[in-house]
Chains A and B, each alone.
Chain A
Amino acid sequence: MAKKVALMQGNEACAQGALYAGCDFFAGYPITPSTEVAEVLSIELPKIGGKFIQMEDEIGATAALIGAALTGAKALDSTSGPGMSLKQELLGYACIAEIPCVIVNVQRGGPSTGMPTGPGQSDMQQAMWGTHGDHAAIVLTPASCQEIYEETVRAFNLAEKYRMPVQIQLDEICAHMRERVTLAEPGELEIINREKPSVSPADYKPYDATKGMVPPLATYGSGYRFHVTGLNKAADGFPTTKAELVDAEERRQIDKVMFNLADIQKNEEYLLDDAEVILFAYGSTSRSARYAVNELRKEGVKAGMFRPLTMWPFPDDRVAELSKQAKAIVCPEMNLGQMVREVQRVAQGRCTVAHIGRVDGEPINPGQIIDKVKEVL
């Protein structure tokens, strides 16, 4: 049987990926340029008995997301710019309470209302550091409609496996362009569901890490009565201010990600074997970068591209290796210098690190990248 293919927007592909992953709950608040994710799920979720709720604001949406996730739902929330700023509060709650959920941020210009219909990549550091307090983040940056579909599935898998919020950072270009998407057959892509407790309700502790870094999460209404709080808490879920317990919990919640980098990180390496100049690019900008690499190669420039699909945790080790190999790493991004800071941090002066920033609502075009590469070489 021929596979189901359809032309769809990145936002629609995100919604379809969520459905494939088993998403059965969406809470959101309308905001350009993310709204199509909500629109598609408002149509599709009730068809499968799932729930869609449009909340009173973006904070309420993330609150509802977490509440639903505690009943066992696989929950998605999508937003942009100002909405993502509002969500930072409860993103932190999902981190500390270890609630699996997926939040999509379709990046537009900013700060504040900025340019609602223009693309941006200026929430990249916010994705890691936006919510207060130390925490881990998993942030994915797909670049095509097909990839948005598949990475949304991966986002749910990571959320469920590591029991934490996972963010998908799109940009307006990827979110609104239409491309062919081949929809996966049932069983074709791996679907991971959160681990259920193996102990009796009487013995259950929601943060008992003695058997692994990711404690199983029970669901409300399944016979397990447990407490969830945004306070620092002990293994039993109840608040504590005991220094050693707080320290251990804080560290575990970061370590569960940092000790599993091989499982979480994903990159594409394009023509890197002999590359002397490496473009570090992601999202829609990586498409301009690939175009530029191809053009530069035609001119005899040994160019290549490193493209993180998992932006956070940042691919420190691989970028460090590349900084030893390359004469220069060039970072085009639709902001005034965000991920380039990480490249600089990791490269430690071993190679030239250059930035191409653009925040005028226009994409970075291949010509700009080619010019910059020639300038730094």
Chain B
Amino acid sequence: MAQRYEIRFSGAGGQGLITAGIILAEAASIVESKYAVQSQSYGPEARGGASKSEVIISDEPIDYPKATIVDACLAMTQVAADKYANGIKPGGVLLIDSDFVKNVPQGDFKVVQIPIMRTAKEDVGREIVANVVALGAMIALTDVVSREAGEKAVLAKVPEAFIDLNKKAYSIGFEKVKEALAQQ
């Protein structure tokens, strides 16, 4: 892994992306004992409009705690794509919800498209777990933590009654990206 790897989750407020960022940071820093810093947008910025959650992961202590130019970005909405998908490293990756981001940001990075919300609703059965689908997808896309570490962190976060649902969401998100990458 690179010394410092930066990931941004962006979308609409209420889509659970801050939680997705926190779970990823837990997977890295608690499950895998790496270093991680998670931060997020606050206040008026976080309500309604575009919301973001950023995670920096490293094998070494992390000094500057904010994302600079991210290695990987998720955009769940067009607004988020327009606002946050501009700072991606050359050679980086962008995952978009293909149903909502029609105007695909262009740049020197790889774009992977999955209908994340639809997958949550139709394949998993609950739209509310779209963030976990997205998390599985981002982990598959970046390999920043292991598949197992991600799943462990997800399951540690959810109530007993929702374990199966989240396990399924995480797994489907992960597989969808692997399939998409195989096709590319």
Residues of chain A whose beta carbon lies under 8 Å from any beta carbon of chain B: 5-7, 32-33, 116-117, 172-174, 176-180, 284, 287-288, 290-291, 294, 363, 365-366
Do B45 and A117 touch across chains, with their CB atoms under 8 A apart?
Answer: yes
Tell me which of B25, B37, B64 contacts A366 (CB under 8 A).
Answer: B64
Give A367's nearest chain B residue, CB to CB.
B68
Main secondary structure of the interface of A (DSSP, over half): mixed
Pick 11 A–B contacts, CB within 8 A, sort by A: A5-B29, A176-B42, A177-B65, A180-B29, A180-B30, A180-B36, A287-B64, A291-B63, A294-B63, A363-B64, A365-B64
When distances are taken between beta carbons in the complex, the residues of chain B under 8 Å from A294 are 63
A178 to B40, CA, bound (A): 9
When distances are taken between beta carbons in the complex, the residues of chain B under 8 Å from A176 are 39-40, 42
CB distance from A168 to the nearest CB of B (A): 18
When distances are taken between beta carbons in the complex, the residues of chain A under 8 Å from B25 are 7, 178
Chain B, 64-82, contact with A by CB distance < 8 Å: what is the 0/1 string? 1110100000000000000
Is B22 at the interface (CB under 8 A from chain A)? yes
Is B109 at the interface (CB under 8 A from chain A)? no
Supplied contacts A33-B42, A176-B40, A366-B64, 11 more A-B pairs, CB within 8 Å: A5-B29, A117-B44, A117-B45, A173-B66, A178-B38, A178-B39, A179-B35, A179-B37, A180-B29, A287-B65, A290-B63
When distances are taken between beta carbons in the complex, the residues of chain A under 8 Å from B42 are 32-33, 117, 172, 176
A366 to B65, CA, bound (A): 11
When distances are taken between beta carbons in the complex, the residues of chain B under 8 Å from A32 are 42-43
Give B29's nearest chain A residue, CB to CB.
A180
Tell me which of A7, A116, A174, A291 contacts B43 (CB under 8 A).
Answer: A116
Give A9's nearest chain B residue, CB to CB.
B38
A339 to B22, CA, bound (A): 34
A117 to B42, CA, bound (A): 6
When distances are taken between beta carbons in the complex, the residues of chain A under 8 Å from B29 are 5, 7, 179-180
Do B30 and A7 touch across chains, with their CB atoms under 8 A apart?
Answer: yes
Tell me which of A116, A177, A290, A291 contacts B38 (CB under 8 A).
Answer: A177
When distances are taken between beta carbons in the complex, the residues of chain A under 8 Å from B37 are 177-179
Give B4's nearest chain A residue, CB to CB.
A291
Do B65 and A7 touch across chains, with their CB atoms under 8 A apart?
Answer: no
Residues of chain B whose beta carbon lies under 8 Å from any beta carbon of chain A: 22, 25-26, 29-30, 35-40, 42-45, 62-66, 68
Q: With A5-B30, A7-B30, A32-B43 in contact, do A179 and B36 touch (Cβ < 8 Å)?
A: yes
Give A146's nearest chain B residue, CB to CB.
B61
Give B55's nearest chain A residue, CB to CB.
A178
CB distance from A31 to the nearest CB of B (A): 12
CB distance from A313 to the nearest CB of B (A): 27
Give B153's nearest chain A residue, CB to CB.
A7
- Across the A-B interface, the 5 shortest Cβ-Cβ residue pairs: A117-B43, A180-B29, A117-B42, A178-B38, A290-B63
CB distance from A143 to the nearest CB of B (A): 9
Do A7 and B22 touch across chains, with their CB atoms under 8 A apart?
Answer: yes
When distances are taken between beta carbons in the complex, the residues of chain A under 8 Å from B44 are 117
A6 to B44, CA, bound (A): 28
Q: With A7-B30, A116-B43, A291-B63 in contact, do A365 and B68 touch (Cβ < 8 Å)?
A: yes
When distances are taken between beta carbons in the complex, the residues of chain A under 8 Å from B38 are 7, 177-179
A116 to B42, CA, bound (A): 9
CB distance from B54 to the nearest CB of A (A): 9
Give B41's nearest chain A residue, CB to CB.
A117
Do B30 and A6 touch across chains, with their CB atoms under 8 A apart?
Answer: yes
Do A7 and B26 touch across chains, with their CB atoms under 8 A apart?
Answer: yes
Do B39 and A177 touch across chains, with their CB atoms under 8 A apart?
Answer: yes
By CB atoms of chain B within 10 A, which of A33, A287, A294, A363 has the most? A287
CB distance from B71 to the nearest CB of A (A): 17
Do B43 and A287 touch across chains, with their CB atoms under 8 A apart?
Answer: no
Tell me which of B35, B40, B43 contacts A180 (CB under 8 A).
Answer: B35
By CB atoms of chain A within 10 A, which of B26, B30, B35, B66 has the most? B66
By CB atoms of chain B within 10 A, which of A6, A7, A294, A365 has the most? A7
Q: With A7-B36, A117-B45 in contact, do A287 and B63 touch (Cβ < 8 Å)?
A: yes
When distances are taken between beta carbons in the complex, the residues of chain A under 8 Å from B22 are 7, 178
A32 to B66, CA, bound (A): 20
Q: With A7-B22, A7-B25, A117-B45 in contact, do A291 and B36 touch (Cβ < 8 Å)?
A: no
When distances are taken between beta carbons in the complex, the residues of chain B under 8 Å from A291 are 63-64
